Amino acid sequence: MEKSWNFVSKNQWGPWVDLFYFFEHSSKRKVDYRSFQLFAEVDELEILKHCPTRWLSLERVVERTLNQLSALRSYFASHPDVEKPGKVKSLHERLQDPLSELTLLFFQFILPVLNAFNTVFQSDETKIGALKEEMVRLLRLLIVKFVQMKYVRGADLLKLDFADSNLQHDDSRIAVGGPARTLLDEDHISPHDKNRFFGDVRAFCVAAVKKMVAKFPFGDEVLSDLVILDFSKRGDYMYNHVVRLASKFAPSVNVESLKDEWDDFQLLGDNEVNLLDSKGQPRRLGAVWADIFDMKTSLGVARFPEITKVGVALMCLPHSNAD
């Protein structure tokens, strides 16, 4: 799933990769740079490289580059080759460009939203039942960053014309993060640079949402049905959801018995299944369902044998391609 999240193009991040390689193969440059780190009073840390096939690395690179920004600016401004055409001059100009810092600050703001979704599905715990809801939640969170709330609330997000500038926030309201807003208020940021920045932010947001709409399986019937794994929502789903899943993943189930069990299951009280652990934290989905599978009637026989067959099959489904 990570690969589909690479919204940042090579052209956008390529010059920052050049920064990594500038230091990577030169011990002398690293030693020289250390003195500028001491002068700028920044952490003595190495420059990191973003790997496009490892989307999560970008957030770390952004944080590190911002941490080192003052030292990097001083280093390249003082370099003897700063006036000569070449890598040093190119990196110096990029570091001095106000748009560079603004872009880094915007990434610092937006990447945690994207990565929070990505890291959920690196878990070894069953998450397949939460996938549909998390996709919709992320899509909504991204859209409201640049589209006015009145057009998002209650709308079919897959049909919303989010690229229409008439639906979007103006520059004073579009979400870019507090640090970026603070920098935008400084006198040395020209109106031209502000326009460039907001144009890039809108382009990024529109591209991110377009990619989600195109790549994510929002209309997948199985993902919609799998929400039945959330015990707290057991009363919201009709019998046909579990039957559809059973036909795909546990075809040996007795459908008539499954219907009776499903009615019984939906009538379970909240106090009959322990959803929290001893510390008051939500229990793992597998542990909750293990308790349900072990339930017995007053006669000592299994209460949900058919549901158990379906549930075990569903929780074997991987929620990412890592497995």
pLDDT of residue 4: 37
Tens of pLDDT, residue by residue over 104-155, are 999 999 999 998 888 877 777 788 888 899 999 999 999 999 999 999 998 9
Question: Is the CB of residue 308 less than 8 Å from the CB of residue 302?
Answer: yes
Residue 270 buriedness (CB in 10 A; 0-12 / 13-18 / 19+): exposed
CA angle 112, 116, 122 (to 5 degrees): 135
pLDDT of residue 13: 55
What is residue 276's three-state secondary structure? strand
| Range 187-190, long-range pairs (CB < 8 A, 24+ positions) | 188/98, 189/98, 189/102, 190/98
CA distance 16 to 62: 10
Shortest CA distance to 18 belongs to which of 105, 89, 110, 83?
89
CA distance 11 to 123: 32
Shortest CA distance to 7 belongs to which of 198, 194, 203?
203
Please state, in angstroms and as integers, the Cα–Cα distance from residue 18 to each residue in 35, 37, 60, 228, 307, following that order. 21, 19, 16, 49, 56
Residue 241 buriedness (CB in 10 A; 0-12 / 13-18 / 19+): middle
- In DSSP terms, which residues pair with 40 in a beta bridge? none
pLDDT of residue 195: 95
* Phi/psi at 163 (5° precision): -80, -10
DSSP symbols for 233-246? GGGG--HHHHHHHH
CA distance 287 to 280: 15
pLDDT of residue 2: 37
* Residue in the structure block whose two tokens are 């019984």: 264
CA distance 140 to 117: 13
Longest dimension (CA), the chain: 88
Shortest CA distance to 189 belongs to which of 99, 104, 96?
99
Total count of residues recorded for the chain: 323
Q: List CB contacts of 244: < 8 A, sequence separation 6 or more.
A: 221, 222, 225
pLDDT of residue 15: 63
pLDDT of residue 1: 34
pLDDT of residue 233: 81
pLDDT of residue 54: 66
Q: pLDDT of the chain along its 323 residues, tens only?
A: 333 344 444 445 556 788 999 999 899 999 999 999 999 999 999 988 877 666 678 889 999 999 999 999 999 999 999 999 999 999 999 999 999 999 999 999 999 999 888 887 777 778 888 889 999 999 999 999 999 999 999 899 999 999 999 999 999 999 999 999 999 999 889 999 999 999 999 999 999 999 999 999 999 999 999 989 988 887 766 788 999 999 999 999 999 999 999 999 999 988 899 988 889 898 888 899 999 999 999 999 999 999 999 999 998 888 876 66
pLDDT of residue 119: 80
Q: Where are the beta strands (DSSP E) in the chain?
A: none
CA distance 101 to 93: 12
CA distance 131 to 127: 7
Handedness of CA 144, 147, 150, 155 (dihedral sign): negative
Q: Within its chain, how far is the Cα of 34 from the centroid?
A: 34
